């Protein structure tokens, strides 16, 4: 009896340890500014009032139309992290973004969680999208992981393909703020000099983000911030 109880309690302990490990691994995979291997950039240390504006997903014609018009109105430049699958469908949208002076980054090919796959899988996700970006006229430099998720395999392949892992320190929270003004205020309240802002404006469901973008840009302007591409922000990095 006693022995059975002991085995049972060790099994329970092992289970608790496994659950804790799973929780820790899950949190680690989402960390914005920390990575187990290789380097990750989530912001830049500077006192200058400058931020990088980044948009994830797509491209979609309606997303590009809306964002390009708003950015143009405020004279702001941004980096668009595009999904290979969408790029393949609408290569013309990538060219429009480049022609307007914006920058394009790699956001994987199929936008799945990049955890627990083989190194070959990550390599293909990166290479296929980089090839499409090159065809559109962008020499790819940056990779943004779908859902911000990465552990070891993805960072290693990103580094091997000569790209830099770029996350963010301020992200939109559409699930909390459905009113464009509140959505924009929430972002502006967290912005600091050197921030990398992430907004999702591309799909039909992202209407709040598109409506909030002029408010975000207006708020940045009022606070004396300039919105630029990731490349432009990274020039402020200490050597
Ligand atoms: Zn994404």
pLDDT digits (tens, 9 = 90+) for 147-183: 999 999 999 999 999 999 999 999 999 999 999 999 9
CA of 57 to the centre of ligand 1 (A): 5
- Rounded average pLDDT over 194-204: 97
**114 and 142 assigned to the same domain:** yes
CA of 219 to the centre of ligand 1 (A): 25
Overall domain count for the chain? 2
**109 and 210 assigned to the same domain:** yes
Tokens of 139: 């020499």
**118 and 211 assigned to the same domain:** yes
Distance (Å) of CA 40 to CA 9, 82, 93, 150, 231? 41, 19, 28, 11, 14
Mean pLDDT of the residues in the chain: 95
CA of 108 to the centre of ligand 1 (A): 9
**132 and 167 assigned to the same domain:** yes
**196 and 112 assigned to the same domain:** yes
CA of 45 to the centre of ligand 1 (A): 25
Tell me the C-alpha distance between 48 and 226, whole Å: 9
**23 and 51 assigned to the same domain:** no
In the prediction, which pLDDT does 3 show? 82
Task: Calculate the CA 179 to chain-centre distance.
Answer: 22
Residue 9's pLDDT band (cuts 50, 70, 90): confident
The residue that leads in pLDDT, 211 or 26, is: 211
CA of 29 to the centre of ligand 1 (A): 15
CA of 77 to the centre of ligand 1 (A): 20
Tell me the C-alpha distance between 172 and 184, whole Å: 8
Residue 139's pLDDT band (cuts 50, 70, 90): very high
- Rounded average pLDDT over 60-88: 97
Tokens of 231: 């490349």
CA of 24 to the centre of ligand 1 (A): 22
* Statement: residue 198 has pLDDT above 80: yes
Q: 145, 114 in Cβ contact below 8 A? A: yes
**93 and 138 assigned to the same domain:** yes
- Rounded average pLDDT over 196-203: 97
**23 and 107 assigned to the same domain:** no
**115 and 23 assigned to the same domain:** no
**23 and 141 assigned to the same domain:** no
CA of 6 to the centre of ligand 1 (A): 47
CA of 150 to the centre of ligand 1 (A): 13
Tell me the C-alpha distance between 30 and 32, whole Å: 6
**107 and 198 assigned to the same domain:** yes
Report the candidate in 40, 1, 25 with the shortest Cα–Cα distance to residue 145: 40
The residue that leads in pLDDT, 24 or 66, is: 66
User: Would you say how long the chain is, in residues?
Assistant: 239
CA of 169 to the centre of ligand 1 (A): 15
Q: 170, 197 in Cβ contact below 8 A? A: yes
CA of 144 to the centre of ligand 1 (A): 8
CA of 79 to the centre of ligand 1 (A): 13
CA of 56 to the centre of ligand 1 (A): 5
239, part of any domain: no
* Statement: residue 1 has pLDDT above 70: no
Tokens of 20: 């804790």
35, part of any domain: no
**101 and 153 assigned to the same domain:** yes
Number of H helices, E strands in the chain: 9, 9
Distance (Å) of CA 20 to CA 16, 25, 36, 176? 6, 9, 18, 28
* Statement: residue 5 has pLDDT above 70: yes
Tell me the C-alpha distance between 171 and 185, whole Å: 12
The residue that leads in pLDDT, 98 or 28, is: 98
Q: 106, 83 in Cβ contact below 8 A? A: no
CATH of the domain at 186: 3.20.20.370
Q: 216, 90 in Cβ contact below 8 A? A: no
CA of 239 to the centre of ligand 1 (A): 30
Domain span including residue 108: 40-234
Residue 239's pLDDT band (cuts 50, 70, 90): low
């Amino acid at each position: 009896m006693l022995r059975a109880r002991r085995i049972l309690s060790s099994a329970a302990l092992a289970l608790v340890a496994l659950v804790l490990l799973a929780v820790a691994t899950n949190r680690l995979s989402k960390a914005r500014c920390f990575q187990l291997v290789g380097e990750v950039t989530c912001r830049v240390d500077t006192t200058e009032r400058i931020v990088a504006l980044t948009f994830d997903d797509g491209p979609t014609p309606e997303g590009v139309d809306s964002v390009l018009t708003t950015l143009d109105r405020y004279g702001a430049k941004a980096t668009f992290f595009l999904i290979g699958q969408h790029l393949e469908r609408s290569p013309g949208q990538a060219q429009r973004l480049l022609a307007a002076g914006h920058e394009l980054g790699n956001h994987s090919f199929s936008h799945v969680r990049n955890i627990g796959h083989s190194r070959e899988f990550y390599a293909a996700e990166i290479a296929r999208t980089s090839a499409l970006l090159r065809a559109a006229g962008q020499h790819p430099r940056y990779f943004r992981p779908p859902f911000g998720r990465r552990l070891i395999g993805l960072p290693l392949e990103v580094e091997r393909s000569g790209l830099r892992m770029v996350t963010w320190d301020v992200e939109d929270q559409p699930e909390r703020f459905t009113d464009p003004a509140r959505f924009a205020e929430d972002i502006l309240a967290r912005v600091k000099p050197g921030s990398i802002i992430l907004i999702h404006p591309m799909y039909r469901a992202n209407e709040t983000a598109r409506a909030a973008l002029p408010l975000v840009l207006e708020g940045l302007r009022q606070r004396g911030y300039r919105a630029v591409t990731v490349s432009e922000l990274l020039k402020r990095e200490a050597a």
